[in-house]
Structure 1
Amino acid sequence: MDYNKEGNGVWNLMTIGDYLRLNKRWFLHNGCLLILVNLVLVASSPLDYKWVDLLYFNILFLCMQIGLVVWDFRKTRQNFWEVQEALEEEVPLKALQFAEENYYTYLLQGIIIKLNKQQEVALLDYEARADQMEEYTTEWVHDIKVKVAVCDLVLEDLEEEEVAERLSLPIEQMKFMVNQLLYITRANHYSQDLHIEQVDVKEVIKGKIKENAPFFIRKNIAIENQIETCSCISDKKWLEYIVGQVLNNASKYTHKAGKVLIYTIEDEEGIHLHVRDNGVGVPKEELGRLFEKGFTGTNGRQTTKSTGMGLYYAKKMANVLSVGLRVESVQNEYTDVILSFYKLEDYFNVTKM
């Protein structure tokens, strides 16, 4: 019954050797008892016995012990198997039903009950702290938004256009980052904040292009929006977050005087929204890691102060909404981010509230 370090981290199935080692005291006791009985029978002269009778007694005793061992071994192994199966399949331990109740199962159940209580207390404490942090972050974001709005008003009154232009971009970046922080905070409680409806994807794209316009204008990046009509069943706010993140990345990693092409392709699976730029591209070995938490990649470390969280949360919410999100890219040629809106029946897979 060794711990499987190379496997999935659970106990291997109990063998007869494991059972014998666990019950060695019991076997030692019965062995000593059998020897004592034999010695008494041999040493007692008044007893009229035959060696055949003594041998028969020992064989009968051993057969009874073997039968009991086989029966108890099967019950004990079944108990261990149920615990192992629960660990492998992540079944709640408190739901375990043992094949036979004994001192060890009672002890194990007591430990499970205690651990469950500790876990429940720790979970409640974590949820309370998470709610406090979310409340504080939300309040902080709204306070910052007020300050940023004041900065916008000050910029409008500035007479020096060159100074105003130089300050406008950092302020827009601040707006984007503050909004991103608010979305990330809410992403951990998305089930409380979903509103599924018919969404006009074209309008979402137009709104996010306008929101990211200062970043595109600063680098003189051309936007070609070829979308005519496109709609889906989704959560508009979270879809705006995903699209905004994709467009913001396009503004970061597209060269000056570059181009971003936005178009859709429809097939039997659904409608696929493409946001394709002719920027720096993604190294082939990094494509599979773009949606990992905290992954910044070569471009993120060299060209921008990337946190590696934007695409991670975009992918997380895309999965919740049953929206496909993938990236195709060739380094130094292009990056094509594809959002797939599947046929109507697939939207019944949207995470329940």
Structure 2
Amino acid sequence: MSALQFVQEKQVPFLLNALSLCIISFMLLLFNLPVNVIVLINTISIFFFLCTMMFEFYRMKHYYGNLMAIFEQLDEKTLIADIVQEPTFHSGQVFYNILKNATKVMNDRISSLKNSQQEYYDYIEMWVHEVKTPITALRLILENHRTSEKIHIQTEISKIDGYVEQALYYARSSTLNQDYRIETFPLHSVVNGAVKSLSLTLIRASTQINTDQLNLKVTSDPKWIIFILKQLIDNSVKYRSPSLELSFTAKKIEGGTVLSISDNGIGINESDLRRIFKRGFTGTNGRNYARSTGMGLYLCNNLCEKLGLSIKASSQKEKGTEIQIFFPDKLNTFD
């Protein structure tokens, strides 16, 4: 609170005090008091009034300034009412009680939402594990039965498995800070893990895979990186040209390492490119070429942000798409 703001807030007391001094001075003149006595009385009155106002100003300025300083330093802003001291002046006490009660209501609601979120997360975990059981059983049945449609059925089962995994990782992404393990690993380990997991899909797409410099090491959570790579590979398969060529290339740059995943697919419209990481965005390709939920790239971007990585895309229509993931040397996660 500045002095000008305080004067504007207290303008009514200032005006009333000035009016009272004028009335008192006029009445004293009627009693024929000397002018110097009237001036002395007015000076004393003004002095004590200004002292009162200055005391009030510095008391309020100190309290609210301290309140703002504490608020800005807090990571959990909702704890402000539990930390700040109760003021000694009445108007501040009213504000303090309102803040404390409002904060309590807000914290109760936040707690309720967190509990609901945890219940949702637990349910998704349970649902995924339950669904994976019949998926595994179907794969075992197919292994023991020869049929001309076996490859097609296996492909569809893999798609179901992929969507189930996507649901699980989407649920886990909100609590990623409780479910990650940071390691230093060579990039070829996560690329091979993702490719192996989607091997049947890649074989059916007649995919040629090229790799370069994947012996470079990065620091992150390999499990989540494999999931991200699987989403990117799946997109390349969905929007492929007749013969899919998939390249994984890494290079060391200042401050970190870049992993590039490029394909020779149908590419992305320039108008869609800036929105592909938005939740639920499917774009022209998603509507025209394949069924798309618009969640894969959104999850990739979301997880990269939480892992302290960055991801960007570049593409040319009918020439292919390149996704780059930047792994910084100094990892800074979950800020």
* Same fold (TM > 0.5): yes
- Quote the residue 1:110 is aligned against: 97
SS in 1 for 2:218: strand
- Quote the residue 1:179 is aligned against: 165
1:302 and 2:288 are equivalent in the alignment: yes
Instruction: Show CA shifts across 1:130-172 (max 9, x none).
Output: 11111111111111111212222333344431x3333222211
Provide the aligned length of Structure 1 versus Structure 2.
331
SS in 2 for 1:260: strand
1:125 and 2:112 are equivalent in the alignment: yes
Distance 1:86 1:296, change over 3 A: farther
Distance 1:34 1:330, change over 3 A: same
Q: Aligned partners of 2:321, 2:132: CA distance in 1, in Å? A: 32
Q: Aligned partners of 1:180, 1:136: CA distance in 2, in Å? A: 15
More off after superposition, 53-62 vs 80-89: 80-89
- Quote the residue 1:164 is aligned against: 150
Gaps of 5+ in 1: 1-12
Instruction: Show CA shifts across 1:264-285 (max 9, x none).
Output: 2234444322211011222334
SS in 1 for 2:310: strand
SS in 2 for 1:256: coil
Match of 1:141 among 120, 125, 128: 128
1:264 and 2:246 are equivalent in the alignment: no
SS in 1 for 2:241: coil
| Amino acid aligned to 2:33 | Y
Distance 1:85 1:298, change over 3 A: farther
Distance 1:129 1:220, change over 3 A: same
Q: Aligned partners of 1:105, 1:286: CA distance in 2, in Å? A: 52
1:192 and 2:175 are equivalent in the alignment: no
Match of 2:301 among 315, 319, 324: 315
Q: Aligned partners of 2:109, 2:311: CA distance in 1, in Å? A: 35
More off after superposition, 221-230 vs 107-116: 221-230
Distance 1:53 1:266, change over 3 A: closer
Q: Aligned partners of 1:135, 1:337: CA distance in 2, in Å? A: 33
- Quote the residue 2:234 is aligned against: 248
Q: Aligned partners of 1:278, 1:75: CA distance in 2, in Å? A: 69
| Amino acid aligned to 2:134 | K
Match of 1:58 among 39, 42, 49: 42
- Quote the residue 2:220 is aligned against: 234
8 Å CA contact 2:301, 2:311 repeated in 1: yes
Deviation at 1:40, TM superposition (A): 5.0
- Residues 3-82 of structure 1: pairs in structure 2 closer than 5 A: 16=4, 19-20=6-7, 22-23=9-10, 26-27=13-14, 30-31=17-18, 33-34=20-21, 37-38=24-25, 41-42=28-29, 49-66=33-50, 68-69=52-53, 72-73=56-57, 75-76=59-60
Q: Aligned partners of 1:329, 1:87: CA distance in 2, in Å? A: 45
Match of 2:324 among 331, 335, 338: 338
| Amino acid aligned to 1:312 | Y
Instruction: Show CA shifts across 1:156-203 (max 9, x none).
Output: 344431x33332222111000101111111111112212222324213
- Quote the residue 1:206 is aligned against: 192
| Amino acid aligned to 1:265 | K
Q: Aligned partners of 1:193, 1:238: CA distance in 2, in Å? A: 10
More off after superposition, 240-249 vs 207-216: 207-216
8 Å CA contact 2:237, 2:244 repeated in 1: no
- Quote the residue 1:7 is aligned against: none
Deviation at 1:116, TM superposition (A): 2.2
- What's the RMSD between the two structures over aligned residues? 3.2
- Quote the residue 1:329 is aligned against: 315
More off after superposition, 234-243 vs 133-142: 234-243
Deviation at 1:120, TM superposition (A): 2.1
Deviation at 1:292, TM superposition (A): 2.8
8 Å CA contact 1:221, 1:256 repeated in 2: no
1:155 and 2:139 are equivalent in the alignment: no
Identity of aligned residues (%): 22
SS in 2 for 1:160: coil
Q: Aligned partners of 2:12, 2:253: CA distance in 1, in Å? A: 71
| Amino acid aligned to 1:279 | G
SS in 2 for 1:289: coil
More off after superposition, 327-336 vs 182-191: 327-336
8 Å CA contact 1:219, 1:255 repeated in 2: no
Instruction: Show CA shifts across 1:286-328 (max 9, x none).
Output: 4333333333333233333333332222223223333332222
8 Å CA contact 1:199, 1:235 repeated in 2: no
Q: Aligned partners of 2:328, 2:53: CA distance in 1, in Å? A: 59
